[in-house]
Chain A
Amino acid sequence: MSLLRSVADGFRALFRKTQVEQEMDEELRGYLDSAVEERMRDGMSHEEAQRAAKIEMGSIEMVKEEIRSAGWESAVETVWQDFRYGVRILRKDPGFTFVAVLTLALGIGVNTTIFSVVSSMLLRKPPVDDPDRLVMLLSKAPAATEWGADRRPVSAPDFLDWRAQATAYSGIAAASSVEDAVDFTLSGGTEPERVPGNRISADYFQVLGVAPVLGRTFLPGEEEVGHDRVMVLRQDLWKRHFGADPHVLGRAVKLNGENYTVVGIMPDSFRRMWMFPAQLWIPLAFTPAELGPAARRSHALSVFARLKPGATESAARAELITIAARVAAANPETEKGWSANLMTAQKYAIQEANATPALMFLTAAVGMVLLIACANLANLLLARNSNRQREFAIRTALGASRFRLARQLLSECLMLSLLGGGLGLLFAVWGLRLLRPAINWNEYSVLIAEMLSIDRSVLLFTLGVSVAAALVFGLAPAFQISRRDPNVGLKESSRSTTAGREHHRMQNLLVTGQLALSLILLVGAGLFVDSFVEETRLNRGLNSANLLTASVSLSGAAYQDPGSQSTFFQGVLHEIESAPQVRSAAVTSDLPYTFPGSANLTFEGRPAAKPDERPSAGYFAVSPGYFAVLQIPLLEGREFTLSDNARSAPVAIVNEAFAQKFFPNQNPLGRHINIENGNENSNSQRWSEIVGVVGNVNEFLGQVAPRPHIFEPFLQRPNSSMNLVVRVKTEPGAFSGSLRRAVWRVDKDQPVTNLRTMDRVVHDAGQGDDLMAELMGAFAGIALLMAAVGIYGLISYLVGRRTHEVGVRMALGARRGEILLLVLRNSMSRVCVGAGIGFLISLALPRLVNATFEGFYNVHSGWILVVTPLAVLLVALASCYVPARRATRVDPMTALRYE
């Protein structure tokens, strides 16, 4: 009741001002009259009574002011007043306003941009029901040293065991894992298309918590071989390939040459989950081979589960580890040492993306940029305040409290920072637009780029940062205001011969801090840039110029047997090599600078190792002449030839790292190895003879220790999915069309995908290192620029304050050069302190970077730590020089008269 009355009364006071004023006047006048009457009753004369009453009442205006401020509306009014006053002040000095808003916009804008990335990668929850209850069940490898060893996919028999024994979940479902993403060829619609797809359990969508927009999901019976020719489409695929035709439900569609019936359509929200690139789904029907005991070694499933209501994550994890231990005990040959792990799906996605270290550095960098911007603004305001001393002094004399003045200043700061925040938001929108196409080094990064947007949390963040910035840079000047004695301000001349050193302590502190921060930022950026340049410059192990690559994955019943696969690729190579622009061509199962599959090895004459301790190497199946095409040096022995085929003795080639690791100080040529590359159930003892040793080629940029690789002739172990590498005489990109046509001349139904030049492949292998270097460099550049502007501003201001002193000195005979030196010496001493602090702190940076990135980065400093401080000092010197020179231009006579 009283709240309503209070609100209503307040509004009345705001909007019916004259009426309320009149009533107050009337009441107070009545009061006065009654007081006079009373005194007259006591015996005073009329005049005496009036005088006494007025004295006792005091100033009517002050009483009215007391009455007014007793209501909430007066606070609103003062805020409004502050706002209008602030707008006037800002408009009076457009130069200052422009610089301030721009500085803030830059600082807030970069923060918003990076926060958008952080938000969409780390904070956004998957668009499923109750995302925190969706967990992933993972296998934990025995040797937990490799990155990702504690969250490996799950084997099919393990999945079934876990599903049977676990009690903590309302549902468990599996899907072929993200690493094993398979593309399917879809035909029967507008034109054949190759799309990523996934094999899933029947209750997969229920466990995830996503409902179909049309039709249904899979039934339990459809997990059986023979009943599994059904398919669910993603909405965008449905629109693109089938024109959003609802009658596609129940229709048969050709998938990899076989007929599947479409039964449902899933919503587009799957596009926003970067771990789920599949556009269509078919049931996961296990073949007997996939369920046999040896299949426990093939970890290829992503297992999702939904926690039962009441089940906790830690209890479920403990139960899972117990179950895994039981399974390992029951299957010692295949499962020894394997355990299990459990985490929310979101946490898994974050760990797999492996962007957290990079994001941390980026966030720190933009945070520093904002701090530098705030320091600039604080200095600007401090300088401006010294010009407003009279204004503050008068207001204090008129009765304004310190708090009131400080509040006025803070609301001006708030206005500035809200303006800056708005403009910064615009900068961020543009920034994201620039950023998205740069996040393109693999299909997952592209998915992440699509997810970047300005959402509600980003808007809230921008607002919060703006307010915080206003407090940060407004607090120092506001604090300073309240401490000044108004008498000083009211005096006409505020000339001081010694430049009031205590007034400038705050400003000096700010500039020192700016310099330190920008130095740290520059060193950090330098480390990233240098590391990236270094890793691209490193000997690549091959000649990547003029090389075009492409992927072909064979589908269709015609290519089920290995013979037809090798015939196809031989045919393609023949077609390609007959083109005039082509120097040479080859195929390989995996390109250099990508992560290949692994093969387990057994060496002849050495004892067989236990199943989980078997030596392994990166595995490649390549065509004859592969190494020559890529110009990978042949160190010993020979290359594969056409006579190394299915009918001849098995051979293999190894790389230098392999030879050093497995045959130290021995000659590997002539030795025999058994290679299991996981594509087959090889119980067969097939001994391949090592016939050659080639140079090392990396799997990713910045790899320091090369991995052992082993190569087999693809004619001896054909694969349905191979990559073409073609060396052309001219521009490789221009050959794309001819490449496709060459493939289609052999079989027109096979899609050619992923056409990239080898240079691009290497670039993509940087996994965004170039982007990181660019971003850090850009932020450091902005920071240095802001710091330079800050120094320039401060020195100009300080020099201006000492104009009188300079005049005196010159009148007493000082030469221009001496003045210059005086100013410079003074300014640079501040600069050196800041640079010194920054330098000391940045000494810790290389170690910090290496530790945070856990081996994916390897920075070494040296020249960066020397060059960067020098560069900063040089820039600072330039910033000091300009105002210093201005000081020497002063005419002594004007200076002496200057006040």
Chain B
Amino acid sequence: MEDRSSELVQGTLDMLILKTLALEPMHGYGIALRIEQISRGVFRVNPGSLFPAFKRLERAGWIKPEWRPTDNNRRAKYYALTEHGRKQLRAEKAQWGKQIAAITRILEAS
């Protein structure tokens, strides 16, 4: 994904992260991997965009971090969706749907 398009979808990236965490809590790389896998390689998020997004979402109260120990005596930071986050995700999904429908209508109008 080029630099230009990643700026465009900053708001979308937030939504994608929330959606990814809706199933289960994950750590940073896991989220990035999941997004890449499910989008079939269309969206490849680099850490330079990912981690600032985590900070934002954390401060907005939509995700909360927890440190879990990994096998090699280290710890990894996992993020989980909060109740507010779930609500926000629903709202953003609805908004996104509306936008998609509108754009589609415009594009299909002759």
Contact = CB atoms under 8 A, between A and B. Distances in A.
B74 A71 contact: no
B77 A63 contact: no
A26 B51 contact: no
B51 to A, nearest CB: 5
Contacts of A9: 58-59
Interface residues of B, number: 23
Contacts of A67: 51-52, 55
A488 B70 CA distance: 53
Interface in A634-672: none
A6 interface: yes
Interface stretch (A31-39, A119-127, A158-166, A334-342): A31-39
A57 B59 contact: no
A62 interface: yes
Contact of B77 (A5, A23, A69, A70): A23
B12 interface: no
A28 interface: yes
A434 interface: no
Given A2-B61, A9-B58, A30 B51 contact: no
Contact of B61 (A5, A30, A63, A69): A5
Nearest to B84: A1
A58 interface: yes
A66 interface: yes
A28 B29 contact: no
- Give the size category of A's interface with B: 20 to 34
Contact of A34 (B30, B55, B58, B75): B30
Given A9-B58, A26-B74, A30-B74, A66 B48 contact: yes
Chain B contact residues: over half helix, strand or loop, or mixed? helix
Contacts of A31: 27-29, 47
A30 B76 contact: yes
A27 interface: yes
Interface in A50-69: 56-58, 62-63, 66-67, 69
Given A38-B29, A38-B33, A70-B55, A58 B48 contact: yes
Contact of A30 (B28, B56, B84): B28
Interface string A69-111: 1110000000000000000000000000000000000000000
Nearest to B53: A70
Contacts of A34: 27-30, 33, 76
26 contacts: A1-B61, A5-B59, A5-B60, A5-B61, A23-B77, A26-B77, A27-B51, A27-B76, A30-B29, A30-B70, A30-B74, A31-B28, A31-B29, A34-B27, A34-B29, A34-B30, A34-B33, A34-B76, A56-B46, A58-B46, A58-B47, A63-B47, A63-B51, A66-B48, A69-B52, A70-B55
Give the 8 A-B residue pairs with the shortest CB-CB distance, closest first: A34-B29, A70-B52, A6-B59, A2-B61, A66-B48, A30-B76, A2-B60, A27-B77
Given A5-B59, A58-B48, 18 more contacts: A1-B84, A5-B61, A9-B58, A27-B28, A27-B77, A30-B29, A30-B70, A30-B76, A31-B29, A34-B33, A34-B76, A57-B46, A63-B48, A63-B51, A66-B48, A67-B51, A67-B55, A71-B59
Interface of A: 1-2, 5-6, 9, 23-24, 26-31, 34-35, 38, 56-58, 62-63, 66-67, 69-71
